[in-house]
């Protein structure tokens, strides 16, 4: 599994994809920080991270779209299917490589917070909570992208499909506020990744939210394993 992980992580930097993602993510995050925090002259970064959740729903598919779709398109999937590695290990390795790239870029982007010190002292609990929640949400988004990538052999379709899925997951909490039918509200609350993020913006470590994000990640990875396993034996 570690060999596949290293191969996948290295592949992001042997072609422009990894550099494109890092550059676009850092450029977008810098711009959003400027209009949400620097412009207001505040040290509160919670608003910045709230907007970045929506932006990540568009940016994460850049790194997950090729995970399995590219393997099928280039006919190298057969090599993976006959490799001495379980499907579960294969999916986890590809997920880990994509997530390490995402998490590393998010952490590097935290350098942008240094100029905020001119406005005052940052609340460490709130800032750390926002970073942790961003990493948790990104984990779910990455797993969802890996799952969608197993469904197609077209990287563009995988990216668009992931954006659509993540859009529903992020916007669910918005619709939840205008729908009065209880069963639908409950369903929207379950799939909403944004609603569980709020406590972190107050510096509150919400264990139930952590459990939810981890569980949702496991569900998407399980579905990816099932899809790929079914094709392996087809």
Tell whether the model's pLDDT for residue 216 goes beyond 90.
yes
Under DSSP, is residue 195 helix (H, G, I), strand (E, B) or coil? helix
Is 173 a residue whose pLDDT tops 80? no
pLDDT band at 177 (very low <50, low <70, confident <90, very high): low
With left for phi above 0 and alpha for psi between -120 and 50, is residue 152 left, alpha or beta? beta
Average pLDDT over residues 142-162: 94
Q: Is the pLDDT of residue 215 over 80?
A: yes
Mean pLDDT, the chain, whole residue set: 86
pTM of the model as a whole: 0.91
In the chain, where the domains are located: 2-232
Percentage of residues in the chain with pLDDT exceeding 90? 44
Is the model's pLDDT at 182 over the cut of 70?
A: no
């Amino acid at each position: 599994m570690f060999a596949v992980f290293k191969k996948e992580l290295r592949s992001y930097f042997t072609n422009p994809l990894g550099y494109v993602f890092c550059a676009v993510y850092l450029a977008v995050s810098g711009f959003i920080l400027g209009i949400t925090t620097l412009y207001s002259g505040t040290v509160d970064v919670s608003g910045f991270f709230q907007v970045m959740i929506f932006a990540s729903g568009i940016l994460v598919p850049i790194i997950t779209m090729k995970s399995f779709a590219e393997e099928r398109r280039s006919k190298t999937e057969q090599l993976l299917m006959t490799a001495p590695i379980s499907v579960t290990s294969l999916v986890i390795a590809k997920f880990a490589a994509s997530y390490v790239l995402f998490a590393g870029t998010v952490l590097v982007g935290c350098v942008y917070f240094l100029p905020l010190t001119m406005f005052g002292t940052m609340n460490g609990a709130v800032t750390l909570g926002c970073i942790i929640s961003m990493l948790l949400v990104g984990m779910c988004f990455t797993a969802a992208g890996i799952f969608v990538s197993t469904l197609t052999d077209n990287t563009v379709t995988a990216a668009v499909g992931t954006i659509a899925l993540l859009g529903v997951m992020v916007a669910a909490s918005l619709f939840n506020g205008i729908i009065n039918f209880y069963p639908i509200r409950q369903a929207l609350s379950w799939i909403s990744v944004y609603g569980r993020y709020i406590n972190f913006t107050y510096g509150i470590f919400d264990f139930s939210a952590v459990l939810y994000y981890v569980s949702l990640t496991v569900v998407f990875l399980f579905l990816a394993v099932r899809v790929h396993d079914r094709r392996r034996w087809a």
